[in-house]
Structure 1
């Protein structure tokens, strides 16, 4: 069965059944919805309709939907509908227009006799073409095997603390997303690009029977995070190839990455014998200052650890260098280890208070823990500097 339905060839000059559509809506509310929906749409598309948002006005609300054929997003917004109808309009052009309008006014949409969409707000008026096609493409949902609900704050925590480690290398497609899976006790999110790894665990919902493992694409994660603050709970449905999120007035359906996530547990070091505890924010500030002299794409930094003191050092090919020391809780033998400063800053941004570095030597990965959140674990590989 085809996964995408409703793609039709554009028919030039076809009259729309929605010629008389007319509605008005709060400009600020519309901008908020467009900001969350339009990100799914790619700016360049060979198929005109895929560059559009589909807007359907009926029963005192407008329904918006957009897709890139891998993700479909749906939203509902209260509106004053005087004439029901449906249009397909350039997503990014519409968002750019609404961004420029006064947020305290209503904006009116109307389709004229020529099939163009007229937008008016205050003294501003715009006319946009309506992309004519009989259907709008959407993803078929299929049969879902799992159905559970999470607090939106829990899902936000899972995703934000792992998304930074997702690989951007398209040749490693199975690492281009977050691995959402369960074991006997936990619901876990894991991401890695081969140089670092993030893993966060939460108690498994009672409605989940058995175990599953799926890879959610990076783009899906980024678009989902835009809507999760709009609701208290999010319902998640899973099949072998699709995942569906329902959050307040938003529904997002996405294909899953067809691949096998590596056995990440095998790379978690088990014999770290040195522990360093430090305030995350203070360490991040020092790393940021010391790495500023490094103009290389990879800003490497070196840790020199001795009792109660961490000294950070960096240098560049232009012979610039920087050094700064910070007091830490460390009582082991002195050691040195190098890191990519960006990787450390990404981890530290997820930790509000104290963090703990678990170390072995300068050639082995560091495990970083959040002292306030035992559910989170981060691994950063060392680098030669």
Structure 2
């Protein structure tokens, strides 16, 4: 294999694929990126056996061929080369090394045979649809903060992507929950999405897709089957296994009869929560909210650090009551509100609270209260 490629094109493609590679691997080939040169293109592939990232870039190919090289090392080398450099990659069977050279820099990297690299199979059955990258980014941004990191309930370690029909309209919906909070976002379902199965997309896959969306120029093609999901964005594509498990019936968690409503200036409230939470106990981070006649008093008590109080003016005319929340969860939800105000709907201090965003009717958040 012998080729020349512009540094920026090489860096962009390598940046996409190397992020899939785990830093520590017991299987050596999984630390490598597969390089395939042919027809004036250099293709890249990396995998962790649960997810596969593929990308390609234009190159001047003198000798076609395939080889694998250490992904992170190669990426760091290319990243540190000067901008505008022409990078040469050379591998011949005589020397078991990949020679990377640019200007006066020259590196020799160990290689492993391309034949040992595992390729993920693709499923033909399922649904395929195309959606604007902005719509997919919104679904991810509004919900991924609520994905669970608790490995014992593995079926919560991802984003539940599925279609629903409401009032005769098909919607593509993303839901995430960790048992303490729930985030839901929806958008009109693209053509072809309605026939697809509901799948739980793993947290790592969601993060990789969101990173790819920043570089994507056009719409995203999504192919979903019961076992895998594939995202195609221009030259780059990501194929991932989905979590084999049943997502809980989240509709039972979303409260329907919460009759007390507080309209709160989101920015003012978030800053107040952040201030009083400064002295909260790190584990619970609980903050008590006392609602009464167009104001809410935030209180945090910590036996060691003292006490903090702050009042915020709000729109509230129901009977006075108190409720407690994890400050971190309040701030996470506040960070997703697009409008000036957030609408909090309560039932009682022990029941789930519904948070709505008047600026984006397609999202809902549910917070479980704490005892304070």
Please say whether Structure 1 and Structure 2 have the same fold, judged by a TM-score greater than 0.5.
yes
TM bracket (short chain) = over 0.9
Aligned-residue offset at 1:330? 1.6
Higher mean C-alpha deviation, range 146-155 or range 200-209: 200-209
Alignment partner, residue 127 of structure 1: 108
Structural mapping, 1:1-385, within 5 Å: 21-111=1-91, 113-184=94-165, 185-210=170-195, 212-229=197-214, 230-353=216-339, 354-385=341-372
Normalising by the residue count of structure 1, what TM-score does the alignment of the two structures yield? 0.90
List gaps (5 residues or longer) in structure 1. Answer: 1-20
Give the aligned CA root-mean-square deviation in angstroms. 1.7
Any idea what the Cα deviations from partners look like across 1:135-190, whole Å, max 9, x if unmatched? Answer: 42111112222111111111111111111111111111111111111122211111
* 1:32-61 Cα shifts (integer Å, max 9, x gaps): 222221121111222211111111122222
Question: How does the TM-score come out when normalised to structure 2?
Answer: 0.93
1:205 counterpart SS class: coil
> Could you tell me how far apart the structure 2 residues matched to 1:311 and 1:122 are?
65
Contact 1:244 1:254 in 2 (8 A): yes
Higher mean C-alpha displacement, 173-182 vs 127-136:
127-136
Find the residue that maps to 2:362 and give its secondary structure.
strand
Deviation at 1:121, TM superposition (A): 3.0
**CA distance change for structure 1 residues 106 and 182 in 2, over 3 Å: closer, same or farther?**
same
**Do 1:280 and 1:351's aligned partners in 2 also have CA atoms closer than 8 Å?**
yes
Structure 2: segments with no counterpart, 5+ residues: none
Q: CA contact under 8 A between 1:281 and 1:352: conserved in structure 2? A: no
1:234 deviates by 0.9
Does the CA-based 8 Å contact 1:145-1:238 persist in structure 2?
A: yes
For 1:287-309, what per-residue CA distance to the aligned partner results, in whole angstroms no more than 9, with x for missing partners?
A: 22221223513322121222222
Could you give the per-residue CA deviations for residues 95-139 of structure 1, whole angstroms, max 9, x where no partner exists?
A: 222232223423322225412112223433322111235242111
Q: CA deviation at 1:201?
A: 1.3
Distance of 1:284 and 1:104 partners within structure 2: 44
CA distance in 2, matches of 1:213, 1:72: 21
Question: Is 2:127–2:195's contact at 8 Å kept on the other side of the alignment?
Answer: no
Once residues 44 and 215 of structure 1 are traced to their aligned partners in structure 2, the CA distance between those partners, rounded to angstroms, is: 25
CA contact (8 A) 2:196 2:224 kept: no
Between 1:184-193 and 1:301-310, the stretch displaced more is 301-310
CA gap of 1:298–1:90, structure 2 versus 1, over 3 A, is farther
Q: Distance in 1 between matches of 2:294 and 2:343?
A: 14
Does 152-161 or 274-283 show the bigger shift?
A: 274-283
For residues 106 and 55 of structure 1, the distance between their equivalents in structure 2, rounded to whole angstroms, comes to 17
| Number of residue pairs matched by the alignment | 365
Distance change in 2, residues 1:24/1:315 (3 Å): farther
